[in-house]
Amino acid sequence: MSFLADDKNLIDSAMSTELVSASPEFDKIVEAMRYSALGGKRLRGILTLEFAKMFGCGSDDAMPYAVAVECIQAYSLIHDDLPCMDDDDMRRGKPSCHIAFGEANALLAGDALLTHAFSAISESDSAKNHPERAIKAVKILSGFAGFRGMVGGQVLDLEAAEKETDPETIFLIHKLKTGALIKASVLMGCAAAGADDELCKLSEKYASDFGFAFQIIDDILDFDGNYETCELNSYVKINGLEKAREDASAYIDDARKVLGFFAEKGFDITNFSKLLDFLVNRMK
């Protein structure tokens, strides 16, 4: 899927340009920010770009929104890895930010990326040209990334990691911790393009189905075949491997139905179909 590589390269370049030190006293914190933010698959930023492009917005105009989403994603991973959270020493094949820069600097690097996400939008030419779209995007991102979304899901996930939970709770965790930022990514693309309410609702449905399938498949891939050693907050642990596969497939099917509505309206859904194929292939 060449569009994934193309979009990733564009986002990587924009992130590198965006995260620079303006003065020597900021060098250390920017180094820590870049260490964690310059890497990864860029799936969320790609969703932002692709939805913006589908609705007629060029990559240049949509890029500040994609950068903002990726800043939020990078901050969340830094904080997730901290000893007080998931306590992970490695991230993307290298030492986690707190191992490389110390716990305090990692915490601050996450804080800096979180706040810079909104600067990336508000200080952009896109915001100057379409301030109403930028305001909508800030509302979307702050809502889905905060306590009503990703942060709230992380709180529930920490609780679920320490005790047996139920299917309803794991559904809510996935909806908030993973699904909320994927919804934000898609809706940020809609905002960048000025999409109407009907298109936004359809896009959010696609994002919801995609997000659930993505997280369930992650849990399937993490499953080592032993339910006893499986993490307590794993979808597979709670629902079983067979049901997990069935549910992931059902969400992918529902997402394809949404794409059918877009196709009927004359939009090019090729890349979004390929993204669903990517999920299917991950599960094989």
- pLDDT for position 284: 78
Q: How far is CA 192 from CA 71, 155, 197, 264, 273, in A?
A: 17, 30, 13, 22, 22
Average pLDDT, the chain: 96
As a CATH number, domain 2-273 is 1.10.600.10
pLDDT tens-place string over residues 176-189? 999 999 999 999 99
Lowest mean pLDDT among 2-16, 49-63, 74-88, 228-242: 228-242
Q: What pLDDT is recorded for position 283?
A: 86
Residue 86: predicted pLDDT: 92
Domain ranges for the chain: 2-273
Full-model pTM: 0.96
| Side-chain half-sphere exposure of 53, counting CA atoms within 13 A | 17
Is residue 233 over pLDDT 90? no
Q: Are 217 and 248 in contact (CB under 8 A)?
A: yes
Length of the chain, in residues: 284
pLDDT in the model for residue 225: 87
